[in-house]
Amino acid sequence: MVKLPLIKTVNLNKTYQMGEVEVPALKKINIELFEGEFVVLLGHSGCGKSTLLNILGGLDRPTEGEIWFDSEALHNFSDRELTHFRRKNIGFIFQMYNLIPRLSAMENVQLVTEISENPMVPERALDLVGLKSRADHFPSQMSGGEQQRVAIARAIAKQPRMLFCDEPTGALDVKTGILVLEAIQKVNLELNTTTVVITHNAAIADMADRVIILVDGQVHETKTNDIKCNVKELKW
């Protein structure tokens, strides 16, 4: 039986207009992502990783080409349809935590569950990232790694089919980054959430099912890891 991709792109291009100059950010991107897969999107700064993630997650549109999600043509969606698509299917984690300072960890997670179609209990989301005991703490009372894990709990609380992580450890030291990556890996394994982590750190690639390497806006190479590393086994 042929396994169908959850999301795929066909000759995807993205060009930005800078005055009279056109700047290509993505060039003929053809990728497929499958249900439950853990993918690392690897490349140097400026290679198009964040641009591709934003298009895959419905935050931006391609200039040309197609993007399909579970047989739906996202490239033809209206702005309203894209908003509904993101709310239902996509969780985002960014380098900055974007927590609301006046709300506790629990309240930050509850904000998402209140507008979701099929949310999990907020306590479970915090428990999955190892922060159930910190539910009543405010962001100012938490470390950077704890705040990032609250952001992960918030992203997964609506039970998205895909989780997109844009440099989730970029502002953290190695020890704290390991805790964050462990939380992301646990979500992928226990919830079967298709997970994409974009990074410039090649060490993280060993924890993925597949690694997609971008160079100058193009897919340079795709590698499959026959044996995935546990986060603590990564060679930093």
Domain contains 1:
no
Domain contains 153:
yes
State how far the Cα of 149 lies from the Cα of 128, in Å rounded to an integer. Answer: 9
Count of structural domains, the chain: 1
State how far the Cα of 22 lies from the Cα of 19, in Å rounded to an integer. Answer: 8
User: pTM of the full predicted structure?
Assistant: 0.93
CATH number at residue 128: 3.40.50.300
The candidate with the shortest Cα–Cα distance to 163, out of 147, 137, 181, is 181
Q: What is the DSSP letter of 92?
A: E
Q: What is the pLDDT of residue 2?
A: 64
Domain contains 90:
yes
Domain contains 22:
yes
pLDDT in tens, the chain (236 residues): 667 899 999 999 999 998 899 999 999 999 999 999 999 999 999 999 999 999 999 999 999 999 999 989 999 999 999 999 999 999 999 989 999 999 999 999 999 998 888 899 999 999 999 999 999 999 999 999 999 999 999 999 999 999 999 999 988 888 899 999 999 999 999 999 999 999 988 889 999 999 999 999 999 999 999 888 788 777 76
Q: What is the pLDDT of residue 36?
A: 96
Please, are residues 107 and 96 in contact by the beta-carbon 8 Å criterion?
Answer: no
Please, are residues 125 and 116 in contact by the beta-carbon 8 Å criterion?
Answer: no
Domain contains 78:
yes
